[in-house]
C-alpha cells in the first residue's frame, strides 16, 4: 500500500490552499498546463514530454526511445486524455461504472478525491495485441486515474511492464494525483 | 463553500483512513490488493511462443470444391487476368501432394523492370536452413518454391521469418524485411539465389533495421517494407521499413535506408503513437512521383477493452525521406476516419484474430491522391464493412480528407489491401466471412474495383473456400494471417492471398498462397496529373 510520507505534502496542499500548490509545483519540477480545461499536472524532472501530441492528449515518459537510460522493466508512460461528456451526470455514470466493477486479482479500483474532485483509479493488466507471430499477447500494468470535472473527464493512463519497480509505480501515482484545477474542487 | 466542504470531508476521511489502516489518506475505498499480485502478474507475462504456422490440413470435403454449390473460382474478366495456386501451378509437380505448410500472411513483389518476375512470401517454412519464397518468371502462371532467403548472418533466426514483407525497386533490386525478435532487412538482385542477398553485417552480426531505437530491441513488431524514389534525388531508391515499438505507446517508427545496397538504416523516426487493445496495423504507402511516404495506423479511443472498439484511423506523411513526419501541421498525424471495428477478437470467421488491424492505403500514381481503406462496423447490422476515403492535396501544403464511401455492402469483411493502377482504377482486395459449412467457416476473397475515385465499386469474387480449420480455442489463431498484399503495376493488380488449395486441385484441404493478376480495362480517361507541392529540402540526416 501507499507510504504515509508521500501523501503528507498532498494533504498539506489541500489544507493551506493555492499558494502552496504553486510552491509544490516548483518543488516537483515541470508542469503540464491545460489552458482549455484549466488544470495542471506536475511530473518529475526526469520525465519527458512526447513530441507527438494529439488533439485531446498529452503524453509524458520517463525515457527517450533513442537513448533510454532506464531499464526496460521501468520504462513508463502516462497519457493525459481529456474527454467532454454530454453532461456531468454522464461523467458520474462513467465513474460509477468503474466503481461497480468487481475487484479481481487482475483488476482493482480505488475511489479517490483529487483536488476536491471525484476520481477513480483502475489498476490491472493491459493486453497489447502485438500481432506478432512469435509473441503471445504482451501484458503491461495499467494504472489509470479518471477524474471528474463536471462534464469533463481527465484520464491519466499509465502503462508499465508488469515487473516494474515499486518506486516507478509510486512516481506514476504521484503524477496522477498531482492534478490541480484552476477553479478548485 | 462547496470546495471547503469537500476539502474538509476529504481531510476527515483521510485522517480516519490513516489512523485505521495506515494507508493513503486520500483513499476512501481501498482494495486489499498488494504488490505481490503485480509480481505474480509479472510471471504471467510472456513474449516467447511458437509462431502460428500451424499446418492447417484436413481431408478434402465435397464442399471444398463448390462451397454452397457455388463455383469456387469464378472466371476473372480480362484476357490478361489469371488466378493460380502457387503450390499447384508449380515446377515441382509433386508439391501439390506433399506441401502442408501454413502459407499465411502473404506479401508480393513485382519487378518493374520485368513484370514477369514476381515473388511471394508467406509462412511457407522457417529458417533452420534457408527459408523459402515463391517465384515466377512467366508473369505468375508457373511458380517455384525456392529456398533462397538466408537467415541474416550472425542472428539466431530459427523458427522465423515471422512477419515478412518484400518490395521491388529499380535496377532489379528486391528488398525484404523480416521479423525475428527484432527486424532485419536485406536486398537481392536475384531472388533465386541465396548468395545474392546483401545484409549490412558488422563484426559478423547483421545490423538491426531498428538499431537506432534501443527501446525497441526485443519489442519491435510487424515490419512493413516499401521502396520509394528519393524525394530529392529522383534516380535514387530508398528503402522504408515501418514497424511498431511495443515498449512505447506502441510507437509507430519508420526506418529509412538511402540508396545503398545492402540497406543501411540511418534515419528512424516516430510517425505516430498507437494505443493498447488493438494491433496498430502500421502500414506504409508511397508516392513514386514525389518521393513522399505515408504512414498509417490505428488508435483505439473507445471501449478498448470490449467489442466493438472505437478506432481513429490515422495518417501521417514525410516529404523529406523520413527525417520529419507531419501532416496538416500535426506531427502525430491526422484522423482520417473514426469508426467502430471488431478486432482483434472475436476472431474473424471464428478462426482468424485480426492482429494486423483493418487498414491500408495506396497512392494514385497519377495525381498523388491517397486512398485509405478501413474497417467500419455498421451499428445497425453489426457487420464489419470496409469503407474508403480519398485524401487529396488542399493546395496549401496539406491534404483534405474526402467523404466516406463503402467498398463493401452489408458483409463481414476484413484484411483489406488497396492499390491504384496507372489508369486510375482503385482496387481493394478483401475477405468476407460467409457463414459455415460442414462445421468450417466459409471465406471469400474479393477484388473490388472503382473507376470513379472510390465512390462506387464493382465486386469480383476471386475464390470462395472453406477454411481448412475450425476454431481451435486459441484467441490468437490465424488461419489466414495478419495481412495480405496487393500491388498495382501499370494497369494490372497483382495480389497474393491465403486460400484453400482444393478448388485448384490439391488432394487435401490446406491453405496455400493464391496468386492473382487482374487487368481491368479502363472505363474512364487517364486522370490529368495535378500540380503538386515541391518536396521540402531534407534536413541533413546522420547517414
Residues of A in contact with B212 (CB under 8 A): 66
Is the model's pLDDT at B401 over the cut of 90? yes
Is the model's pLDDT at B41 over the cut of 90? no
- Is the CB of residue B416 less than 8 Å from the CB of residue B372? no
Residues of A in contact with B347 (CB under 8 A): none
**Sequence-distant (≥ 6) Cβ neighbours of residue B32 within 8 angstroms:** none
Work out the minimum CA distance from B348 to partner chain A, whole angstroms: 14
Work out the minimum CA distance from B28 to partner chain A, whole angstroms: 6
**Interchain proximity B42–A162, CB inside 8 Å:** yes
Residue B415 host element (H or E): strand B412-420
**Interchain proximity B162–A131, CB inside 8 Å:** no
Give yes or no for A62 touching B (CB within 8 A): no
Q: Which of A131, A162, A185 to mutate to test the interface with B (most CBs of B within 10 A)?
A: A131
Pick the more confident residue, B40 or B391. B391
For A169, the closest chain B residue by CA position comes to B35
Q: Which of A12, A13, A52, A142 to mutate to test the interface with B (most CBs of B within 10 A)?
A: A52
Q: Of B7, B30, B38, which is closest to A141 when you measure between CB atoms? A: B38
Residues of A in contact with B242 (CB under 8 A): none
In order of their start, the domains of chain A are: 29-181 (3.40.1000.10)
Residue B9 host element (H or E): helix B2-21
Residues of A in contact with B249 (CB under 8 A): 59, 77, 79
pLDDT tens column, A4-34: 333 333 333 333 333 333 334 445 589 999 9
Half-sphere exposure of B229 (CA within 13 A, CB side): 13
Residue ranges of the alpha helices (H) in B295-412?
none
Is the model's pLDDT at B234 over the cut of 50? yes
Is the preceding peptide bond at B161 cis, omega within 30 degrees of 0? yes
Is the model's pLDDT at B514 over the cut of 90? yes
Interface A:B, Cβ pairs < 8 A = 206
List A residues 126-155 in contact with B (Cβ-Cβ < 8 A): 126-142
Q: Name the DSSP letter for residue B143.
A: B
Phi, psi at B7, each rounded to 5°: -65, -45
Q: Which of B52, B102, B221 to mutate to test the interface with A (most CBs of A within 10 A)?
A: B221
Query: B5 falls in which pLDDT band (50, 70, 90)?
Result: very low
pLDDT tens column, B50-105: 346 788 899 999 999 999 888 899 888 877 899 999 999 999 999 999 999 999 99
Q: Name the DSSP letter for residue B541.
A: -
Is the model's pLDDT at A106 over the cut of 90? no
Alpha carbon of residue B152 to chain centroid? 22
**Interchain proximity B332–A105, CB inside 8 Å:** no
**Interchain proximity B160–A141, CB inside 8 Å:** no
CB-based burial, B360-391: b 16+ in 10 Å, e otherwise = bbbbbbbbbbbbbbbbbbeeeeebbbbbbbbb
Is the preceding peptide bond at B250 cis, omega within 30 degrees of 0? yes
Query: B1 falls in which pLDDT band (50, 70, 90)?
Result: very low
**Interchain proximity B222–A130, CB inside 8 Å:** yes
List A residues 74-103 in contact with B (Cβ-Cβ < 8 A): 75, 77, 79, 99, 103
Amino acid at each position: 500500500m501507499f507510504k504515509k510520507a508521500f501523501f503528507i505534502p498532498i494533504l498539506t496542499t489541500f489544507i493551506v490552499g493555492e499558494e502552496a500548490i504553486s510552491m509544490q509545483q516548483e518543488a516537483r519540477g515541470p508542469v503540464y498546463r491545460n489552458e482549455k480545461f484549466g488544470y495542471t499536472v506536475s511530473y518529475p524532472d526526469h520525465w519527458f514530454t512526447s513530441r507527438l501530441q494529439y488533439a485531446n492528449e498529452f503524453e509524458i515518459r520517463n525515457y527517450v526511445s533513442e537513448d533510454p537510460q532506464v531499464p526496460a522493466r521501468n520504462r513508463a508512460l502516462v497519457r493525459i486524455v481529456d474527454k467532454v461528456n454530454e453532461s456531468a451526470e454522464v461523467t458520474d455514470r462513467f465513474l460509477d461504472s468503474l466503481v461497480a466493477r468487481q475487484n479481481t486479482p487482475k483488476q482493482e479500483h480505488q475511489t479517490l478525491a483529487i483536488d476536491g474532485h471525484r476520481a477513480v483509479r483502475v489498476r490491472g493488466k493491459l493486453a497489447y495485441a502485438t500481432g506478432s507471430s512469435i509473441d503471445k499477447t504482451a501484458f503491461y500494468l495499467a494504472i489509470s486515474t479518471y477524474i471528474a470535472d463536471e462534464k469533463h473527464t481527465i484520464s491519466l493512463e499509465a502503462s508499465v511492464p508488469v515487473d516494474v519497480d515499486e518506486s516507478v509505480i509510486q512516481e506514476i501515482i504521484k503524477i496522477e494525483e498531482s492534478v490541480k484545477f484552476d477553479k478548485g474542487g | 463553500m462547496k470546495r471547503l466542504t469537500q476539502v474538509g470531508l476529504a481531510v476527515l476521511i483521510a485522517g480516519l483512513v490513516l489512523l485505521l489502516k495506515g494507508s493513503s489518506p486520500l483513499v476512501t475505498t481501498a482494495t486489499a490488493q498488494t504488490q505481490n499480485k503485480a509480481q505474480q502478474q509479472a510471471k504471467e507475462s510472456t513474449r516467447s511462443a511458437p509462431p502460428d504456422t500451424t499446418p492447417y490440413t484436413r481431408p478434402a470435403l465435397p464442399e471444398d470444391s463448390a462451397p454452397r454449390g457455388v463455383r469456387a473460382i469464378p472466371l476473372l474478366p480480362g484476357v490478361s487476368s489469371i488466378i493460380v495456386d502457387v503450390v499447384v501451378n508449380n515446377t515441382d509437380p509433386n508439391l501439390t501432394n506433399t506441401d502442408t505448410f501454413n502459407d499465411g500472411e502473404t506479401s508480393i513483389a513485382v519487378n518493374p523492370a520485368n513484370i514477369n518476375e514476381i515473388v511471394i512470401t508467406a509462412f511457407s517454412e522457417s529458417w533452420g536452413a534457408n527459408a523459402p519464397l515463391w517465384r515466377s518468371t512467366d508473369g505468375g502462371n508457373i511458380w517455384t518454391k525456392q529456398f533462397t532467403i538466408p537467415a541474416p548472418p550472425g542472428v539466431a533466426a530459427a523458427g522465423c521469418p515471422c512477419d515478412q514483407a518484400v518490395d521491388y525497386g529499380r535496377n532489379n533490386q528486391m528488398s525484404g524485411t523480416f521479423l525475428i525478435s527484432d527486424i532485419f532487412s536485406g536486398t537481392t538482385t536475384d531472388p533465386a539465389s541465396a548468395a545474392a542477398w546483401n545484409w549490412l553485417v558488422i563484426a559478423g552480426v547483421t545490423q538491426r533495421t531498428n538499431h537506432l531505437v534501443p527501446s525497441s530491441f526485443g519489442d519491435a513488431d510487424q515490419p512493413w517494407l516499401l521502396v520509394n524514389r528519393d524525394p530529392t534525388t529522383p534516380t535514387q531508391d530508398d528503402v522504408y521499413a515501418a514497424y511498431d515499438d511495443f515498449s512505447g505507446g506502441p510507437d509507430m517508427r519508420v526506418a529509412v535506408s538511402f540508396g545503398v545496397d545492402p540497406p543501411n538504416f540511418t534515419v528512424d523516426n516516430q510517425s505516430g503513437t498507437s494505443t493498447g487493445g488493438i494491433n496498430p496495423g502500421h502500414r506504409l504507402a508511397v508516392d513514386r512521383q514525389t518521393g513522399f511516404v505515408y504512414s498509417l495506423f490505428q488508435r483505439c479511443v473507445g471501449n478498448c477493452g470490449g467489442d466493438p472498439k472505437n478506432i481513429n484511423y490515422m495518417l501521417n506523411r514525410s516529404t523529406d525521406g523520413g527525417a520529419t513526419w507531419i501532416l496538416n501541421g500535426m506531427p502525430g498525424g491526422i484522423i482520417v476516419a473514426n469508426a467502430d471495428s471488431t478486432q482483434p477478437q472475436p476472431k474473424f470467421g471464428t478462426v482468424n484474430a485480426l492482429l494486423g488491424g483493418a487498414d491500408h492505403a495506396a497512392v494514385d500514381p497519377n495525381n498523388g491522391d491517397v486512398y485509405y481503406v478501413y474497417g467500419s462496423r455498421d451499428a445497425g447490422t453489426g457487420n464489419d464493412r470496409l469503407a474508403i476515403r480519398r485524401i487529396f492535396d488542399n493546395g496549401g501544403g496539406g491534404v483534405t480528407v474526402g467523404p466516406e464511401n463503402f467498398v463493401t455492402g452489408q458483409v463481414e469483411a476484413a484484411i483489406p489491401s488497396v492499390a491504384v493502377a496507372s489508369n486510375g482504377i482503385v482496387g481493394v482486395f478483401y475477405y468476407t466471412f460467409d457463414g459455415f459449412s460442414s462445421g468450417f467457416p466459409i471465406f471469400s476473397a474479393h477484388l473490388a474495383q472503382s473507376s470513379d475515385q472510390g465512390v462506387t465499386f464493382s465486386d469480383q469474387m476471386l475464390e470462395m473456400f472453406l477454411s481448412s480449420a475450425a476454431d481451435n480455442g486459441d484467441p490468437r489463431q490465424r488461419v489466414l494471417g495478419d495481412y495480405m498484399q496487393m500491388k498495382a503495376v501499370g494497369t494490372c493488380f497483382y495480389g497474393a492471398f491465403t486460400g484453400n488449395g482444393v478448388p485448384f486441385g490439391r488432394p487435401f484441404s490446406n491453405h496455400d498462397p493464391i496468386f492473382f493478376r487482374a487487368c481491368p480495362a479502363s472505363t474512364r480517361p487517364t486522370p490529368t496529373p495535378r500540380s503538386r507541392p515541391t518536396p521540402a529540402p531534407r534536413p541533413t540526416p546522420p547517414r
